[in-house]
Structure 1
C-alpha cells in the first residue's frame, strides 16, 4: 500500500509556514488582521490550527507577506492538500481528534501503554472486547463502526514503507484478561508474531521494574521524515480526552521519558519469549 499525503500534516505545515512568513514581516497577528479588515483573532486562529484557512483567505495573506511565486505555488498546493479528506474522515464520530491524521504520515512511532495493547497491534476480537467494555450504552452499529475504524488504522503497517514502531508495554497490559481466555490468547499470539516484523520492536516493562517515569499514563511520540518541515508531536489520551503536544520542551521531556522506559523494560528478544510464555499460561 502506497503512502498518501496526510491532510492533517499538510494543514499543520501550512499554519507553521504562515506564522514564519508573518514573523519575517515583523508584524503582529493583530496588525495583519487590521490591514486585511479581518477580526483581530482570525490570523492567530489560523496559525494555531483553531480555524481552517479557506481558499479566499490565502491570497491576501500571501500578497501582504510579499511571498515569491515559488512560495505562493508551494503554499497554495499545501492548502489544496490540506482540504482533501483522509480515509479517517468517514469515521470522524468514532476516531479521536486529529490523531490518525498525524499518525498516517509518521516515519517513527514510539508508544508506551499501561493498560491496553496498542491499537496498531490489536486483534479484532480484542478491539471488540475493549469497545464493549468502554461503551456500555453503545448499540451494535456503533460498536461495529469503532471496530472498523480501528482495524482500518492497521493498514499503516502494510504500506510500502511502514513506520518504525517501538512499543513499551506495561506487564499489566498483557496480563489483564480482556475478552476471556480465547481472545487474550489470540492477542498475545499476535504480539509474538509482531515481534518478528523487521520494523516493530516490543518491550515489556515488568512489575518488578517498580516505579517509573510514565506512571501518569500512556503516550505516543510521532516523528516524521523531515523534522524541519514536520516536527515531532506527543499524543496523550484516555477514555475521555485527547491532547496533542507540539512544543520542543514537551517533546524533549517525553522522548527522555521513553528512553528511561526502554532502559527499564526487558529487551525485545526476552520480551518476545515472555509474551509467548504468558500465552501458554492463559487458561482454557
Structure 2
C-alpha cells in the first residue's frame, strides 16, 4: 500500500529526479545495483527512487549530484523542492520562510516544537497521528522534520527563541526513554548561543492571568525584516501579515515570556524532569 500511495502522491520534483536519474544511469550503462554501489545505497533503494515508491532522500540527492550531476547542479537544486514536497500540505508555504528567517519566536502548549524534536519523539508523534499514516509516509515526515534543524547551524545565524508550557515537558510521548532523550536534547539546545528557551510554569495563572491561554504561535522576521505570525491547529494553518494583528501577537508573546521562568530556571527544570524519566 505504501508503495502505491507514494507513486500517486509523489510531487513533480520527485518525479523529475526519478526520471532523470534513470536516464542518466542508463546512459552510463549501469544497473540499479551498480548505481547503488556508486552512491552508497542498495540497488533496491535506487529502484524505489526510480519507481517513486520512495522519493530520493536528501543524502541520496547529494550523492546523485556527485555521481550523475556532471557539474550541472540539477540534483543539488532539487534538494529544497523535494524536501518541501514531503511536508504536510498546511506547512508547505511556511517551511521556506522558516528556513530563511532571521528571527523565530515560538510558543508551544501541547508538544515540543518540531525544530526541537528528537527523531524518536517525532516518530512517536507522527506515527500516532489520526487518520493513521502509512509507515513510509511516517518516515518521510520524520525525515523532513529532522532536516528542518539545519536552521540552527545556518549562516547567517538565526536567532531562535522557544517558550514551552511546563505541561509539554510532563506529557509522556513514546516511552520514558524517548522523553528522557527529548528533555536532554532540549537542555543541550538551550545552551546554544543563538537559542533562548523558557518554560511557562503550570501555576502561572495563579497571578490572575495567563497570557498564553489562546494557544501556540510562531513569530517570524524575514531577511527583509518583515514580521509575520504563523498559527497551526488541527492540520489547518494561518499566516498573518497584517501589521496591526502582528503587533497584537507580538505584545501577547512578550507577556507570555514575562510570565515564564528565566532561562536558568527553565534549564534547571528541564534537567530535573529528565532525571525523573527512569
1:155 partnered with 2:153: no
Question: Offset at 1:133?
Answer: 1.8
Contact 1:95 1:146 in 2 (8 A): no
**1:3-152 superposed matches below 5 A:** 86=81, 88-93=83-88, 96-152=91-147
User: TM-score, normalization: structure 2?
Assistant: 0.67
* C-alpha distance 194-107 of structure 1, shift in aligned 2 (>3 A): same
- Structure with the larger helix share: 2
In structure 2, relative to structure 1, the CA distance for the partners of 1:182 and 1:86 (3 Å cut) is same
**Is the contact made by 1:88 and 1:95 (CA closer than 8 Å) also made in structure 2?**
no
Report the aligned-residue RMSD: 1.7
- Match for 2:249 among 230, 249, 254? 254
Give me the TM-score of the superposition, normalised by structure 1. 0.66
Where structure 1 has 5 or more consecutive residues not aligned to the other structure, the ranges are 1-83
Residue 220 of structure 1 corresponds to which residue in structure 2?
A: 218
In structure 2, distance between residues paired with 1:160 and 1:252: 28
Deviations 1:108-136 (A, max 9, x none): 00000001111111000000011112245
8 Å contact 2:198–2:263 — kept in the other structure?
yes
Q: Give yes or no for the alignment of 1:167 onto 2:162.
A: yes
Q: How far 1:240 moved relative to its partner? A: 2.2
Secondary structure of the corresponding residue to residue 91 of structure 2: coil
Report the count of equivalent residues.
197
Distance 1:170 1:178 in 2: 15
Greater Cα offset, 128-137 or 143-152: 128-137
